[in-house]
Copies of this chain bind each other. A is one copy, B any other.
Amino acid sequence: MILETASRLFQRQGYNGTGINQIIEESGTPKGSLYYHFPNGKEEIAIEAIKLVKEKILEHTKHDMLAADDVIDAFQQHINNIADFYDTEDCTEWLKIGLLASETASTHETLRLTCETAFKEGQMLYADTLIKHGYETPLAQELAITINSLLEGATTISLTRKSGDTLRVIAKQIPTLLRGKNSGGNRE
């Protein structure tokens, strides 16, 4: 329950914007108990919270990647699912670690590394899906990085605009992006 609450708050308010006291209040956990389970305090909680969010993201992604036979349809539906998510005003969780990553990149090395791993695992999942559908490995890896960047950026803009429309626009570009399966088709 501590990690559930912490990961929700960290995603919305960031690392510096979320206090231990707030985590305690909202989760109902007493302070002594929290520091017993997480002796290293806030940073340790953040590390575990990031891992938890990562697992949730991977789970959603795996499901979406298998939901359609055509890989283009799968990615488009994946992005549109996330878009609907960002429409709801009262959504408590963004399934996104970009805020934590940006905040801690130059200040908390351990957290930075945890975020780096999370990004990498997400990319690998995209790349494997593309390879499974016949894309050449090097191109699949580049496209996976591109789609990951696209999603990270579009979610940031979607939450700033309080609308999933930005995500829907990028979903429309997926067919263009995934056009050629071998790297020769990359240039016109």
Contact = CB atoms under 8 A, between A and B. Distances in A.
Interface of A: 12-17, 98-99, 101-103, 105-107, 112, 115-116, 119, 142-143, 145-146, 148-154, 156-157, 159-162, 166, 169-170, 172-173, 175-177, 179-180, 185-188
A146 B151 CA distance: 10
- 5 shortest interchain CB distances as A-B pairs: A153-B153, A152-B153, A149-B153, A16-B16, A149-B154
Main secondary structure on A side of the interface with B? helix
A176 to B, nearest CB: 6
Contact of A102 (B102, B151, B179): B102
Nearest to A145: B169
Contact of A179 (B14, B151, B156, B179): B179
A180 B176 contact: yes
A160 B177 CA distance: 24
Contacts of A169: 142, 145-146
A160 B17 contact: no
7 contacts: A98-B98, A105-B160, A106-B159, A142-B172, A143-B173, A146-B170, A152-B153
